Amino acid sequence: MAKRVVGFGTTVFVEINELARRHRAVNLGQGAPDFDGPPEVLAAAVRAVNGAQNQYAPGIGMPSVREAIARHAERFYGQKLDPESEVLVTSGATEGMFAAILGLTDPGDEVIVFEPVYDTYVPNLAMAGVTPPVCAASGRSVELRRR
């Protein structure tokens, strides 16, 4: 394991998932429902796979998805976005945040984070070589929590 990740431990989601399993609780921590998706969504997924829409998408996302996101942003938020240059589709929030951090910071930069903080921000900043980030609420450096 690389030295830069040795102290990270697990994410809070691993802990929540384990606690939910152990106590047979409904897990509301990560959006993992205990039921199948809507039949029409499952049918659309089958149609997409059978219709040869099962290859790698462009790195920035499929044009139709980026266009739909731009339409959504305009309809609900009044934001006019260019789907070709202002919309990027990622596999999830964690990947998107890490890509943004790597693309916008250089080793030694300082970043302000707001608490409560999503649990991957600080490890992502550390992996990018950012100096210990500063919490906007308290002005204190945010430490990696080792589990």
- Domain ranges for the chain, please list them: 1-30, 59-87, 90-142
Is the per-residue pLDDT at 63 higher than 90?
Answer: yes
Q: How confident is the model at residue 64 (pLDDT cuts 50, 70, 90)?
A: very high
Q: Per residue in 20-54, is it b (16+ CB within 10 Å) or e — as a string? A: beeeeeebeeeeeeeeeeeeeeeeeeeeeeeeeee
Q: Residue range 79-108: average pLDDT?
A: 92
For residues 10 and 133, the model is more confident at: 10
Specify the pLDDT at position 10.
77
